[in-house]
Amino acid sequence: MKPMLSFVVLAVLCCAAPLNVQAQSSTVGTAVSVNSQQATITEVPTPSTFSLPQGVDIAGDGSIWYAETSAGKIAQLKANQTSAEFPIRNGGQPVTVKIAASGIWFTDGSNHAIGLLNPTTGSVEEYAIPSGGSPLFLQLAQDGSKWFSETTGVGRLTPNGVITEWMVALEHPDDNIEQLSIDATGNIWFVERNFDGAGAAGTNKVRRLNPNTNVISTYLVPTFGGNPAGVQANANGTVWVSEYYANAFALLYPQVAPHSDEVVSPSTRDASQSGVTVRPAGSGPATGVQTPVAPSNAVVRPRLTLGWIEYTIPTANALAEDMRIDRLGRVWFEGDSGLLGVLNPYLGSFTDYTIPSANSGYYDIALDQSKQELWFTEAGIFAAVTTKIGHLDVTLP
Per-residue pLDDT tens digits for 111-130: 999 999 999 999 999 999 99
Q: Is the pLDDT of residue 395 over 80?
A: no
What is the mean pLDDT of the segment spanning 41-47? 96
Distance of CA 151 to the CA centre of its chain: 16
Band (372; pLDDT cuts 50, 70, 90): confident
Q: Which pLDDT score is estimated for 16?
A: 46
Per-residue pLDDT tens digits for 177-194: 999 999 999 999 999 999
User: Is position 140 within any domain?
Assistant: no
Q: Which pLDDT score is estimated for 23?
A: 34
Give every strand in the sheet of 388-393, ordered side by side.
289-293, 39-45, 388-393, 373-378, 363-368
Q: Which pLDDT score is estimated for 35?
A: 54
User: Is position 171 within any domain?
Assistant: no
Q: Which pLDDT score is estimated for 29?
A: 52
How many independent structural domains does the chain possess?
A: 1
Q: Are 273 and 70 in contact (CB under 8 A)?
A: no
Distance of CA 247 to the CA centre of its chain: 16
Q: What CA–CA distance (Å, rounded) separates 391 from 397?
A: 19
Q: Which pLDDT score is estimated for 396?
A: 74
Q: Which pLDDT score is estimated for 371?
A: 87
Band (8; pLDDT cuts 50, 70, 90): very low
User: Is position 34 within any domain?
Assistant: yes
User: Is position 93 within any domain?
Assistant: no
Domain around 292: 1-10+25-47+288-397
Q: Is the pLDDT of residue 2 over 70?
A: no
User: Is position 340 within any domain?
Assistant: yes
User: Is position 332 within any domain?
Assistant: yes
Q: What CA–CA distance (Å, rounded) separates 94 from 107?
A: 5
User: Is position 352 within any domain?
Assistant: yes
Per-residue pLDDT tens digits for 315-325: 999 999 999 99
Per-residue pLDDT tens digits for 14-26: 444 554 433 333 4
Q: Which pLDDT score is estimated for 338?
A: 97
Buried b (16+ CB within 10 A) or exposed e, 335-359: bbbbbbbbbbbeebbbbbbbbbbee
User: Is position 4 within any domain?
Assistant: yes
Q: If you ran DSSP here, which 8-state letter would residue 38 be given?
A: -
